[in-house]
Amino acid sequence: MTSNFERTPLALPNGESKVLLHSCCAPCSGEVMEAMVASGIDFTIFFYNPNIHPRKEYDLRKDENIRFAETFGVPFIDADYDRDNWFARAKGMENEPERGVRCTMCFDMRFERTALYAHEHGFPVITSSLGISRWKNMDQINDCGRRAASRYSGLTYWEYNWRKAGGSARMIEISKRENFYQQEYCGCAYSLRDTNRHRIATHREPIKLGVMYYGTERDDAAK
Ligand code: SF4
Protein backbone atom coordinates (compact mmCIF):
# COMPACT_ATOMS: atom_id res chain seq x y z
CA MET A 1 0.00 0.00 0.00
CA THR A 2 1.32 3.48 -0.81
CA SER A 3 0.28 6.94 0.28
CA ASN A 4 -2.81 8.49 -1.42
CA PHE A 5 -0.95 11.77 -1.75
CA GLU A 6 -0.86 13.07 -5.35
CA ARG A 7 2.76 13.57 -6.20
CA THR A 8 4.61 15.73 -8.69
CA PRO A 9 6.82 13.29 -10.62
CA LEU A 10 10.51 13.46 -9.74
CA ALA A 11 13.32 13.41 -12.29
CA LEU A 12 16.90 12.32 -11.72
CA PRO A 13 19.71 14.77 -12.49
CA ASN A 14 21.21 14.82 -16.00
CA GLY A 15 18.25 12.87 -17.39
CA GLU A 16 19.63 9.68 -15.79
CA SER A 17 17.31 6.75 -15.24
CA LYS A 18 18.66 4.87 -12.24
CA VAL A 19 19.97 5.70 -8.79
CA LEU A 20 21.62 3.99 -5.85
CA LEU A 21 19.76 5.02 -2.69
CA HIS A 22 21.77 4.84 0.50
CA SER A 23 19.25 4.02 3.21
CA CYS A 24 19.83 4.53 6.93
CA CYS A 25 16.59 2.91 8.12
CA ALA A 26 13.00 2.14 7.13
CA PRO A 27 11.34 5.23 8.71
CA CYS A 28 13.68 7.63 6.87
CA SER A 29 13.61 5.79 3.55
CA GLY A 30 9.87 4.95 3.45
CA GLU A 31 8.82 8.30 1.97
CA VAL A 32 11.86 8.41 -0.32
CA MET A 33 11.05 4.97 -1.67
CA GLU A 34 7.37 5.75 -2.22
CA ALA A 35 8.29 8.97 -4.03
CA MET A 36 10.65 7.10 -6.35
CA VAL A 37 8.17 4.30 -7.00
CA ALA A 38 5.47 6.88 -7.84
CA SER A 39 7.85 8.55 -10.31
CA GLY A 40 8.84 5.29 -11.98
CA ILE A 41 12.50 5.75 -10.98
CA ASP A 42 14.67 2.65 -11.17
CA PHE A 43 16.43 2.45 -7.80
CA THR A 44 18.37 0.02 -5.64
CA ILE A 45 18.71 0.30 -1.89
CA PHE A 46 22.20 0.27 -0.43
CA PHE A 47 22.25 -0.47 3.30
CA TYR A 48 25.65 0.42 4.68
CA ASN A 49 25.49 1.70 8.25
CA PRO A 50 28.41 0.40 10.33
CA ASN A 51 27.74 3.21 12.81
CA ILE A 52 24.69 1.46 14.26
CA HIS A 53 25.38 -0.02 17.68
CA PRO A 54 24.80 -2.55 19.17
CA ARG A 55 24.28 -5.43 16.74
CA LYS A 56 20.72 -6.01 17.99
CA GLU A 57 19.73 -2.48 16.99
CA TYR A 58 21.52 -2.85 13.66
CA ASP A 59 19.55 -6.01 12.86
CA LEU A 60 16.25 -4.43 13.89
CA ARG A 61 16.78 -1.42 11.63
CA LYS A 62 18.04 -3.47 8.71
CA ASP A 63 15.28 -6.08 8.90
CA GLU A 64 12.59 -3.37 8.86
CA ASN A 65 14.21 -1.86 5.78
CA ILE A 66 14.34 -5.23 4.01
CA ARG A 67 10.69 -5.90 4.87
CA PHE A 68 9.57 -2.63 3.27
CA ALA A 69 11.83 -3.02 0.22
CA GLU A 70 10.28 -6.44 -0.40
CA THR A 71 6.79 -4.95 -0.57
CA PHE A 72 7.93 -3.01 -3.66
CA GLY A 73 10.25 -5.66 -5.04
CA VAL A 74 13.15 -3.19 -4.84
CA PRO A 75 16.67 -4.69 -4.90
CA PHE A 76 18.39 -4.44 -1.51
CA ILE A 77 22.17 -4.49 -1.17
CA ASP A 78 23.12 -5.59 2.33
CA ALA A 79 26.64 -4.16 2.65
CA ASP A 80 29.25 -4.90 5.33
CA TYR A 81 28.76 -4.24 9.00
CA ASP A 82 32.38 -3.22 9.43
CA ARG A 83 31.91 -1.55 12.78
CA ASP A 84 35.60 -1.97 13.72
CA ASN A 85 36.46 0.43 10.90
CA TRP A 86 33.77 2.82 12.08
CA PHE A 87 35.11 2.82 15.64
CA ALA A 88 38.66 3.27 14.32
CA ARG A 89 37.60 6.33 12.31
CA ALA A 90 35.68 7.72 15.29
CA LYS A 91 38.72 7.51 17.57
CA GLY A 92 39.32 10.83 19.31
CA MET A 93 35.78 12.02 18.45
CA GLU A 94 33.95 10.05 21.13
CA ASN A 95 32.77 13.15 22.97
CA GLU A 96 31.86 15.30 20.00
CA PRO A 97 28.25 16.51 19.93
CA GLU A 98 25.74 15.40 17.33
CA ARG A 99 26.08 17.37 14.08
CA GLY A 100 29.79 17.82 14.81
CA VAL A 101 32.92 16.38 13.24
CA ARG A 102 32.13 12.78 14.26
CA CYS A 103 28.91 12.98 12.28
CA THR A 104 30.79 14.38 9.26
CA MET A 105 33.11 11.37 9.47
CA CYS A 106 30.11 9.05 9.82
CA PHE A 107 28.32 10.49 6.77
CA ASP A 108 31.57 10.53 4.78
CA MET A 109 32.19 6.86 5.53
CA ARG A 110 28.71 5.80 4.47
CA PHE A 111 28.71 7.93 1.32
CA GLU A 112 32.22 6.80 0.34
CA ARG A 113 31.12 3.16 0.28
CA THR A 114 27.90 4.07 -1.53
CA ALA A 115 29.85 5.98 -4.19
CA LEU A 116 32.31 3.11 -4.61
CA TYR A 117 29.51 0.60 -5.09
CA ALA A 118 27.78 2.92 -7.57
CA HIS A 119 31.02 3.35 -9.51
CA GLU A 120 31.69 -0.39 -9.62
CA HIS A 121 28.13 -1.36 -10.56
CA GLY A 122 27.17 1.25 -13.14
CA PHE A 123 24.97 3.61 -11.14
CA PRO A 124 25.35 7.19 -12.46
CA VAL A 125 23.56 8.80 -9.46
CA ILE A 126 23.62 8.34 -5.68
CA THR A 127 21.39 9.81 -3.00
CA SER A 128 20.47 9.10 0.62
CA SER A 129 17.53 9.06 3.01
CA LEU A 130 19.71 10.62 5.72
CA GLY A 131 18.60 14.19 5.06
CA ILE A 132 14.87 13.64 5.58
CA SER A 133 15.20 13.68 9.36
CA ARG A 134 14.75 17.10 10.90
CA TRP A 135 17.35 16.10 13.54
CA LYS A 136 20.06 16.15 10.89
CA ASN A 137 21.97 19.03 9.32
CA MET A 138 21.09 18.82 5.64
CA ASP A 139 24.02 21.01 4.51
CA GLN A 140 26.43 18.74 6.36
CA ILE A 141 24.93 15.67 4.69
CA ASN A 142 24.91 17.23 1.22
CA ASP A 143 28.56 18.27 1.57
CA CYS A 144 29.47 14.66 2.37
CA GLY A 145 27.37 13.31 -0.50
CA ARG A 146 28.95 15.68 -3.02
CA ARG A 147 32.45 14.94 -1.72
CA ALA A 148 31.97 11.19 -2.13
CA ALA A 149 30.48 11.45 -5.64
CA SER A 150 33.30 13.76 -6.78
CA ARG A 151 35.76 10.86 -6.38
CA TYR A 152 34.42 9.28 -9.57
CA SER A 153 33.95 10.96 -12.92
CA GLY A 154 30.42 10.60 -14.20
CA LEU A 155 28.91 10.06 -10.73
CA THR A 156 26.41 12.63 -9.46
CA TYR A 157 25.05 13.17 -5.96
CA TRP A 158 21.31 13.87 -6.16
CA GLU A 159 20.76 16.67 -3.68
CA TYR A 160 17.00 16.41 -3.40
CA ASN A 161 15.33 17.88 -0.30
CA TRP A 162 13.08 15.01 0.81
CA ARG A 163 11.57 17.12 3.59
CA LYS A 164 9.82 19.54 1.25
CA ALA A 165 6.23 19.37 -0.07
CA GLY A 166 5.10 17.52 3.07
CA GLY A 167 7.82 14.86 2.90
CA SER A 168 8.55 15.01 6.64
CA ALA A 169 4.89 14.52 7.55
CA ARG A 170 4.52 11.62 5.11
CA MET A 171 7.61 10.01 6.61
CA ILE A 172 5.75 9.79 9.93
CA GLU A 173 2.47 8.79 8.26
CA ILE A 174 4.14 5.90 6.42
CA SER A 175 6.04 4.82 9.53
CA LYS A 176 2.77 4.59 11.50
CA ARG A 177 0.93 2.87 8.68
CA GLU A 178 3.70 0.26 8.40
CA ASN A 179 4.31 0.02 12.20
CA PHE A 180 8.03 0.48 11.64
CA TYR A 181 10.46 -0.08 14.46
CA GLN A 182 11.09 3.32 16.05
CA GLN A 183 14.68 3.95 16.94
CA GLU A 184 15.18 6.32 19.85
CA TYR A 185 18.73 7.51 19.15
CA CYS A 186 20.73 8.40 16.07
CA GLY A 187 22.64 5.14 15.88
CA CYS A 188 26.19 4.99 17.23
CA ALA A 189 27.35 3.94 20.69
CA TYR A 190 28.04 7.57 21.58
CA SER A 191 24.61 8.81 20.56
CA LEU A 192 23.09 6.00 22.65
CA ARG A 193 25.26 7.01 25.60
CA ASP A 194 24.41 10.72 25.26
CA THR A 195 20.68 10.13 24.78
CA ASN A 196 20.60 7.96 27.89
CA ARG A 197 22.54 10.57 29.87
CA HIS A 198 19.96 13.17 28.87
CA ARG A 199 17.10 10.84 29.78
CA ILE A 200 18.52 10.10 33.20
CA ALA A 201 19.13 13.81 33.82
CA THR A 202 15.48 14.49 32.95
CA HIS A 203 14.20 11.59 35.11
CA ARG A 204 13.26 9.32 32.23
CA GLU A 205 13.90 5.64 31.68
CA PRO A 206 16.94 4.72 29.61
CA ILE A 207 16.34 3.39 26.11
CA LYS A 208 15.16 -0.20 25.80
CA LEU A 209 16.08 -1.64 22.42
CA GLY A 210 13.41 -3.33 20.34
CA VAL A 211 10.43 -1.90 22.24
CA MET A 212 9.11 1.15 20.38
CA TYR A 213 7.10 0.79 17.17
CA TYR A 214 5.36 3.60 15.30
CA GLY A 215 1.59 3.56 15.64
CA THR A 216 1.59 1.79 18.99
CA GLU A 217 0.00 3.18 22.15
CA ARG A 218 3.37 4.03 23.66
CA ASP A 219 4.42 5.89 20.51
CA ASP A 220 1.14 7.85 20.50
CA ALA A 221 1.46 8.64 24.19
CA ALA A 222 4.96 9.97 23.62
CA LYS A 223 3.82 12.60 21.10
S1 SF4 B 1 25.37 10.72 16.15
FE2 SF4 B 1 24.53 9.70 14.32
S3 SF4 B 1 25.48 10.70 12.52
FE4 SF4 B 1 26.65 11.25 14.37
S5 SF4 B 1 28.31 9.76 14.47
FE6 SF4 B 1 26.64 8.93 15.73
S7 SF4 B 1 25.42 7.64 14.33
FE8 SF4 B 1 26.77 8.93 13.06
Sketch the domain layout of the chain as residue ranges.
15-178
Distance CA 30, CA 34 (A): 6
Cis ω before 54 (30° cut-off from 0) = yes
pLDDT in tens, the chain (223 residues): 555 667 889 999 999 989 999 999 999 999 999 999 999 999 999 999 999 999 999 999 999 999 999 999 999 999 999 999 999 999 999 999 999 999 999 999 999 999 999 999 999 999 999 999 888 999 999 999 999 999 999 999 999 999 998 999 999 999 999 999 999 999 999 999 999 999 999 999 999 999 999 998 654 444 3
Phi, psi (rounded to 5 degrees) for 19: -145, 145
Question: Mapping DSSP to helix (H, G, I), strand (E, B) and coil, where does residue 72 land?
Answer: helix
Residue 1: predicted pLDDT:
54
Q: CB of 31 within 8 A of CB of 139?
A: no
Distance CA 99, CA 90 (A): 14
Q: CB of 20 within 8 A of CB of 46?
A: yes
Residue 223: predicted pLDDT:
36
Cα(122) to centroid(ligand 1), Å? 29
Task: Please state the pTM of the whole predicted model.
Answer: 0.94
Residue 61: predicted pLDDT:
98
| Packing angle of the helix pair 167-177, 26-38 (nearest 10 deg) | 110
Residue 213: predicted pLDDT:
96
Q: CB of 124 within 8 A of CB of 161?
A: no
Name the residue of 141, 188, 190 to mutate for ligand 1: max ligand atoms within 8 A of Cβ. 188
Q: Is the CB of residue 186 below 6 angstroms from any atom belonging to ligand 1?
A: yes
Q: Measuring CA to CA, which residue among 122, 127, 163, 152 is closest to residue 142?
A: 127
Q: At a CB cut-off of 8 Å and minimum separation 6, what does 112 contact?
A: 148, 151
Q: Is the CB of residue 130 below 6 angstroms from any atom belonging to ligand 1?
A: no
Q: Is the CB of residue 191 below 6 angstroms from any atom belonging to ligand 1?
A: yes
Q: Would you mind telling me the total number of residues written for the chain in this entry?
A: 223
Closest-CA residue, ligand 1 atom 3, reads 103
CATH of region 15-178: 3.40.50.620
Residue 222: predicted pLDDT:
42
